[in-house]
Structure 1
Amino acid sequence: MKRETTNMIRTVLEEAIPPFIRDSGAMRWLFRRHWGPLVDDIERFRERIPFVTAEEYRHVYERMPRVQDETDNSAACLERIQTDVVGEAVLDVGCGTGYLLDWLKHRRPDLALTGTDFIIEEGTRTRHPDIRFVEGHVERLPFDDDSFDTVICTHVLEHILEFRTALTELRRVAKKRLIVVVPQEREYRFTFNPHLHFFPYPHSLLRYLTPIPEGHAIEGIGRDIYYREDGL
């Protein structure tokens, strides 16, 4: 389903249903009806995250079904990203299947595009032979300082335990501009994703981003938070 559809579902689950119902056994039963035991596994994963090994982390994400049809980004966020890209060298951190990079390629053929993720499926390279893909972790990006004019990181940081380390790496490799998109959501005991950080309001994200440069912008786009900054 499209991001816009899942955002509407999340609005009902997070805003319309009172917390005492949302965290109840009846809601857990409904989630299990659709997701099976993965619901319980994700809850345990979040509870144990300070002690989870790299192998356990990878195993959870390998089991996650794709909720969105092609991309976690809404059409509005995609358009805003395209508008805000500066320079020619662009890095997408947490590129997944390469959808965002391919989307940019068809609208900005002048861009030199690179994608990185901790799992790059071979089919991704085959589908996009003109895009460079490099396996790597956001906490230790395999690139030199100021390697890219624009660094994009969408729907990634909410998954990363070492948020500050990841943010430092994103800023390190971004020469001109950094673009970050995270879901605007509330935390409950069980859910259909393994998110570790939750941002119910745009200012909730700002607390994680200090020091914040003067050249920044933040806004809610649908049920997502869009943040852009130019060099510190």
Structure 2
Amino acid sequence: MNRETTNRIRFVIEDLLPPILRDSALFRAAAKLVWGEHIVKLARFRERAPFLTAGEYEDLYRHHPRVHAGTDNSAACIARIVDAIDGTSVCDVGCGTGALLSYIRAANPGLTRLTGVDFVVDDAARLDGLEYVAAKIEALPFADGEFDTVVCTHVIEHVLDYRKAIAELRRIARRRLIIVVPREREYRYSFNPHFNFFPYTHSFLRAVHPVPQTHLCIDIGRDIFYCEEPVQRDLEQAA
């Protein structure tokens, strides 16, 4: 299933079904027909977010069904991302299988370094010329400004301390930071292990505050595409 299809499904269950139904036992029963008891496990996972151990967190993600083949990004988001790459080094934080990095490399043949980061890299495609690093987004093992462009798609919604995660992304980005998150509302029962929900683009802008002067935040088919040039880059351009 591709992202475009799941976004259409999300429109129906998130925007058309009233909250009184989405949070009900009736919806839970219907959802169980699709994912069984996992739908209940996801609800408990969110409820216990502040108390989860690292082992519990990793266990759920290892057993969570992969909905999208390859990448969680839509074709429109991929096109925006590959067009926004600046410089010769790229780090994809939350790289998953490495599919997005392969799109980035194909569209930007002049890149000299491509690095994928995830807290579990077991299912990475291990494509030639791509470096994979196992690490948590809240503590990235890189120097300040080590990469020209840092990309992070469909990760921030999963991270409890998302402000710390965003600070780390900004720390290692020298020229440009690109973030994609789903535009969605929170309900008790859902088909994803998300902690953070951004129903509008301005909801996400509050999450990334303070926002640098040079930035873009737009809605692309129920996903929020955010791109910024770090404050230091703004200062360099103004000098």
Whether the TM-score (by the shorter chain) exceeds 0.5 is yes
2:138 is the alignment partner of 1:168: no
Question: Structure 1 pair 96/123, CA: closer, same or farther in 2 (3 Å)?
Answer: closer
Distance 2:48 2:125 in 1: 31
- 1:6 aligns to 2:30 (yes or no): no
Give the structure 1 partner of residue 234 of structure 2. none
Matches within 5 A, 1:73-92: 73-92=73-92
The answer for the alignment partner of 1:155 in structure 2 is 154
- After superposition, the C-alpha distances for 1:96-151 in whole angstroms (9 at most, x for unaligned) are 000000111222222121100000016522xx021011111100001111000000
Question: What SS does the corresponding residue of 1:158 show, helix, strand or coil?
Answer: helix
Which residue of structure 2 lines up, in the alignment, with residue 131 of structure 1?
130
Give the AA of the match of 2:155: V
Are 1:18 and 2:18 counterparts?
Answer: yes
What TM-score, normalized by structure 2, do the two folds share? 0.94
The whole-number CA distance in structure 2 between the counterparts of 1:79 and 1:159 is 23
What is the DSSP-based 3-state SS (H/G/I as helix, E as strand, rest coil) of the residue aligned with 1:124? coil
Q: Corresponding residue for 1:140?
A: 139
Separation in 1, partners of 2:155, 2:123: 21
Cα distance in 2 for residues equivalent to 1:87 and 1:108: 10
Gaps of 5+ in 1: none
**Seq. identity, %:** 51
Equivalent-residue separation in structure 2 for 1:75 and 1:122 (angstroms): 22
Counterpart Cα distance in 2 of 1:69 and 1:135: 21
Paired residues of 2:116 and 2:131 also in contact (CA < 8 A): yes
Which residue is equivalent to 2:62? 62
Matched position secondary structure for 2:26: helix
| Structure 1 vs Structure 2 CA RMSD | 0.9
The one-letter code matched in structure 2 to 1:226 is: F
In structure 2, distance between residues paired with 1:97 and 1:195: 19
Hey, what's the Cα distance between the residues in 1 that align with 2:147 and 2:89? 5
- Is residue 119 of structure 2 the alignment partner of residue 118 of structure 1? yes
* Aligned mates of 1:107, 1:215 — CA distance in 2: 24
Deviations 1:128-187 (A, max 9, x none): 021011111100001111000000000000000011110110000000100000000000
- Alpha-carbon distance between aligned partners in 2 of 1:108 and 1:70, rounded to the nearest angstrom: 19
- Write the distance in 2 (CA, Å) between the matches of 1:217 and 1:105: 23
- Equivalence for 1:41: 41
Cα pair distance change 1:122/1:12, threshold 3 Å: closer
CA contact (8 A) 2:98 2:124 kept: no
Report what 1:200 is aligned to. 199
Q: Tell me the number of residue pairs that the alignment of Structure 1 and Structure 2 aligns.
A: 230
Distance 1:122 1:132 in 2: 14
The superposition leaves residues 13-36 of structure 1 with CA deviations (integer Å, 9 ceiling, x where unpaired) of: 011111111111111111111101
- Relative to the length of structure 1, the TM-score reads 0.97
State the SS of the aligned residue for 2:175: strand
Matched to 1:9, the amino acid is: I
Asked if the contact 2:145–2:172 (Cα under 8 Å) also holds between the matched residues in 1, the reply is: yes
Partner in structure 1 of residue 27 of structure 2: 27
